[in-house]
Every structure is written in C-alpha cells, then in structure tokens.
Structure 1
Amino acid sequence: MLIGDVARRSGVSARMLRHYDTLGLVRPTGRTDAGYREYSSEDIRRIFHIESLRSLGLSLREVGRALDDPGFTPAELVDDLIRQTRERIAAETELLTRLRRIGAAEPAGWEDVLQIVALLQALGSKSAGKRQHAALSSVEEVPVPVEALVEAALSETDPNVAGALRWALAQLGDSGLALLAEGLGSRSAEVRKRAVQSIAEIPSDEATALLRDAFANPDIVVRRYAALALGARGVADAVPTLIDMVVEGTNDVDAADALSALASRPTLADQIATRLVDRLAHSTVESSARRRLTQALADIPGITASRALADLSHDEDRGVALTATYILGLRNAR
C-alpha cells in the first residue's frame, strides 16, 4: 500500500509517516519500481500501535522503546504518565478557575483584566506583604472576585494578611456568605475557624443568622467564635458559652468584653451578674478562673454586680479579694 493510501486509511498524515520513517519507528517494507514507499499489512498494524501508545501521552522516543525493547516493562512509565496527567489536569483546572474569576469580575477592558490577574497572582504570592497589599487593594481598585477572596481567607495563615482579607470580605457585604458557610462544613478545623472569623466581620442580619447556625456547630472552636460575635451583636443565647470561656481562659478577655456589651441592656445586666456569681461559688472552679470571673464583673453594671464585688473583696482567696477591691474602687470613682 502506498503512503497516500496509508495516510487516508490510518488518519496519519503522509508527512508524519515520513517522520516515522526518519526516526526508524515504521520503515516501509518495500519500495515500488518508481521508488515510492510501500507499506505491508504488518507496517500498518505497527502504525496503529504507535498511534495507540501516543494517545496515552507517550513521546515518540518512548513509543519506539515500548515497541522494540523486549525487556521494556510499562508499569513505571504508566505511573509516570498518571503523575504527569494529574499535574496537567491540576494546571488546567487552575487556569479554568482563574478565567472564571476574571469573567465574574466583568472587566470593562484589557487594562481591567491585567489588574485582576496581577491581584490574583499577588493573593497567591509567597510574600505576606504582597498578599496583604492585594487584599487591601481588592476593594479600592478593580474588584477581585469574591470567590478568590474567600478562598484566600480560608487558607491564609499569616494573622495580618488574614485580617486584611476579612476586612475586604466585609466591604463586599453578604456576597461571600454562601461560600463562607461552606467553609464551616470543611473537614479542616483551621478552615472552619477562619470561616466563622470571616463571617463575624460582616455586619448584616444574614451574617447574624449564619452565626446562629455556627453556634450549634459540633466544633467547639467554631461555637466559641460564634458566641463572641453573637454576644457583640446582643444575642443573649451566647451568655453561657461566654462565661464558660472566661472560666476556661479561652479568649477570656474577648468573652468578658462580649458579656459587657450584652450587659448594656438593662434586662440582661443582673442576669449575667447572677450567672457569674453562681460560677464563682462553684467548688470546682480553680483560683485563676475565679479571678477571671471577678474581672468579668468589672464592666457589668447594676446592683447585683456591685454587691457581688463587695462580698468578693473579703474572699478567702487573696487574689480574688484584691481584684474585687480594685474594681470596686474604680466603680466608686466613676
């Protein structure tokens, strides 16, 4: 069969067949009287074998080795091809994600596209300073798609950059809440924590509703951050968890601040003071925890808190007594 016929039947161009001949992959069995290449059925079978192996991603050099080396074993090469394919898929997926994000930003022109690409690259930089600058610039300049900001916020480990990213998300309002809600269900405890911290920065009713859901999360860290945010927003359900945080010394200063914010409501001040006093009286509470509870009473207004501090100024625990006396002095001086 002549080269033109082989090309038509195999789908391999005549030029490629000549290239195979040059490389020694497929040498035509014979030549016609006029010197044209003439392929046998065995040659054609080899051509199909070459194309089959090429379809797996093998180079022509690897194809030749696979067909001609009797000792060749495919296992290692196939494993390598699997690795290369996974890397290629990951790269293509990353490109697709970047293109989708650029499209979501609805750039008006190529200058906008270039700015968005630069910001996306900066968000993925190894430099914390560049990431922080990108987060702060994402609101003032061409907006970075919210999906990119959420992904960055949920993966950021540097506290300063994380704070900038949470600020940027808060400026966008509720647009990132759905994605952050997905983060609350992540298998990673760190991602769940970053998600609730980001939600806490968004001052909206929808964010508050999501924080209420987070308050029932099985992850205690998520529940505690939700309690801090809910307390600052005046949600009384957070009180028991906030008091537990004071006792345990977990973000106890922030928890005391949240209790103080809640106690600004007259109907809650005495209730919170009573709960704090009840915990102080509990026999299993350690000395350091009793001092923290006493300190938490400092910014709780009302007669219940004042009476409790007066009693505590005579407490058997000298640390508690001194703390209560000092607080009473400050309250009386107001």
Structure 2
Amino acid sequence: MLIGDVARRSGVSARMLRHYDSLGLVRPTGRTGAGYREYSGEDIRRIFHIESLRSLGLSLRDVGRALDDPGFTPADLVDDLIRQTRERIARETELLTRLRRIGAAEPADWEDVLQIVALLQALGSESAGKRQRAALSSVREAPVPVEALVEAALSETDPNVAGALRWALAQSGADALALLAEGLGSPVAEVRKRAVQAVAEIPDGDATALLRDALRHPDLTVRRYAALALGARGVADAVPTLIDMIVEEANDADAADALSALAGDPTVADQIATRLVDRLGHGATGSSARQRLTQALADIPGNTASRALADLSEDEDRAVALTATYVLTLRDA
C-alpha cells in the first residue's frame, strides 16, 4: 500500500508518516515495480501501535523504545505518565477556576481583567503583606469574586490577613454565606473554625440563622464561636453554650461578657440567672468553675441574681462565699 493510501485509511498524515520514516519508527518494507516504497500489513499494524502509544502521552522516543527494546518495561513509564497527567489536570483546573472567577467579576474591559488577575495572584502570594493588601483592595479597587475571597479566608493561617479577609467578606454580605456554610461541613477542623469566624462577622439576618444552626454543630469549637457571635447579636439561644464555656474555662471572660450583654433584656436576665444557679448547684461542678459562675452572676441584673448571690455568700466553699460577698458589695454600692 502506497503512502497516500495508508494516510487515508489510517488517519495519519503523509507528512507524519514521512516523519516516522525519518526517525526509523516505521519504514515501508516493500517496493512497487516502479520503485516506490510500499507499506506491508505488518508496517500498517506498527503504525496503529505507534498511534495507540502516542494517545497515552508517550513521546516518539518512548514509543520507539516500547516497540523495539525487548527489555523495556512499561510500569515506571506509566507511573510517570500518571504523575504528569495529574499535574497537567491540576494546572488546567487552576486555569479554569481563574477564568471562571474573572468571568464572574464581569470585567468591563481588559484593564479590569488585568486588575482582577493581579488581585487573584496577590491573594495566593507567599507574602502575608501582599495577601493582606489584596484582601483590602478587593473591596476598594476591583470586584474580586466572593468564591476567591472565601477560599482564601478558609485557608489563611496569618491572623492579620485572616482578619482582612473576614472584613472583605463582611462587605460582600449574604453572597458568601452559602460557601461558608460548605466550609462549616469541612472535614478539616481549622477550616470549620475559620468558616464560623467569617460568618460571625457578616451583619446579616441569614448569617444569624446560620449561626443558630451552628449551635447544634458536632464541632465544639464551632458551637462556641457561634454562641459568642449570637450573644453579641442578642440571641438568647446562645445562653446554654455560653454557660458551658464559663464552666469549662473556654473563653470564659468573653462568654461572661456575652451573657451580660444578653441580660439587658429583663426576661432573658432572669433566665440567665436561673441557669447559672442551676449549674452552681450541680454536684459535678468543681470549685474553680463555681467561682467563675459566681463572678458571671455579678453582671446579671435582677432579683433572681441578687438572691442567688446572697445565698452564695454563705456557701460552704469559702472561695465562692467570698466572691459572692464581694460581688454583693459592688451591687449595693
């Protein structure tokens, strides 16, 4: 079969067949009566073998080795091809993500595109200062897609940069909440923590609803951050978790401040005082925890708290009794 016929039937161009010939990959073994080179059936099978191996990503050099070297083993080469393919997919995925984010920002012209690309690159910089400036600039200068800000916030380890990213997300409003809700479901504890911290800084009713849901989250850290944020928003659902934090000495000062803020509502104040008294009477609560609970009562107004402190001033635990007596003195002043 002449080269033109082979090209038509195999789909390999005549130019490529000549290139294979020049490299010694496949050389026509026959001759026509007129002296033209002619491909045999075996030659054509070899062409299809070459094309099959090329489809796996092998170079022509490796194709030749695979077909001609009896000692050639494919295992290492295939493993290397797998690695290269994964790297290429990762690069292409990263490019696709970047293009999607640029498209989501709806740039008006190429100047906008260049500015968005610069900010996206800065968000991924190794320099914390550059990342922080990019987070701040994302609000003032160019509309960086919320998806990029959320991804950066959930992966950021530098506290200053993380604060800037949370501030930027807070300016975006409810748009970030769905993505942050996904972060709350992450298998990585640090990601869940960053997600709830970011939600806590979004002043939005939907954010409050998400924080309410977070009070039932299986991650204790998520529940605690949610309770602190809800306490600041005047949501009484946070009270049980805040009291647990005082008992467990986990951000107990912040938890007590949150209870004090909630106690501005007289009805809630009585509920808080009643719950604090219940925990004080719990037999499993140790002395230091009872002291912290007594101190927390100091900032809760109302008769329920006052009566409880009066009773505690005669508590058999001397440290608790002294604390209650001192607190009563301050309340009467």
- 1:125 Cα deviation (Å)? 1.5
Post-superposition CA distance 1:181-202 (Å, at most 9, x none): 1222222222222222211111
Change (3 A) 1:52 1:241: same
Task: Summarize the alignment of residues 188-199 of structure 1 with structure 2, pairs less than 5 Å apart.
Answer: 188-199=188-199
Residue 94 (structure 2) pairs with residue 73 (structure 1): no
CA drift of 1:313 comes to 4.9
Distance verdict in 2 for CA 1:314–1:199, change over 3 Å: same
- The residue number in structure 1 matching 2:12 is 12
SS at match of 2:298: helix
TM-score (norm 2): 0.92
- Partner AA of 1:177 in structure 2: L
- Residue 29 of structure 1 corresponds to which residue in structure 2? 29
Between the aligned partners of 1:184 and 1:135, the Cα distance in structure 2 is 21
Give the superposition deviation at 1:323: 4.2
Structure 1 residues 328 and 36, CA gap change in structure 2 (3 angstroms):
farther
The corresponding residue for 2:135 is 135
Q: Which runs of 4+ in 1 moved over 6 A?
A: none
Percent identity of the aligned residues? 86
Q: Quote the offset at 1:29 in angstroms.
A: 1.4
Q: Within 5 Å, give how 1:213-232 maps onto structure 2.
A: 213-232=213-232
Contact 2:200–2:229 (Cα < 8 Å) also in 1: yes
Superimposed CA distance per residue, residues 223-273 of structure 1 (whole angstroms, 9 cap, x where no aligned partner): 222222222222212111110110001121221121111101111112212
Q: What's the secondary structure of 1:172's corresponding residue? A: helix
Secondary structure of the 1:12 match is coil
Deviations 1:51-81 (CA, angstroms, capped at 9, x unpaired): 1100000011110010001111212211211
Distance in 2 (CA, whole Å) between partners of 1:46 and 1:241 is: 73
Alignment of 1:58-97 (within 5 A): 58-97=58-97
Structure 1 gap ranges (5+):
none
Q: Identify if the C-alpha distance between structure 1 residues 35 and 129 changes in structure 2 by more than 3 Å, giving closer, same or farther.
A: farther
**TM-score scaled by length of structure 1:** 0.92
Shift of the 117–214 alpha-carbon distance from structure 1 to 2, 3 Å rule, reads same
What's the C-alpha RMSD, in Å, of the aligned pairs? Answer: 2.1
Unpaired runs of at least 5, structure 2: none
Residues of 2 paired with 1:188 and 1:130: CA distance?
26
Is this contact kept in 1: 2:212–2:237, CA < 8 A? no
Distance 1:163 1:325, change over 3 A: farther
Q: CA deviation at 1:28?
A: 2.0
What is the identity, as a one-letter code, of the residue corresponding to 2:170? A
**CA–CA separation in structure 2 for the residues paired with 1:24 and 1:299:** 90
Corresponding position of 1:180:
180
Taking the TM superposition and a 5 Å limit, the aligned residue runs for 1:1-334 are 1-31=1-31, 36-313=36-313, 315-317=315-317, 319-328=319-328, 330-333=330-333
* CA–CA separation in structure 1 for the residues paired with 2:93 and 2:247: 48
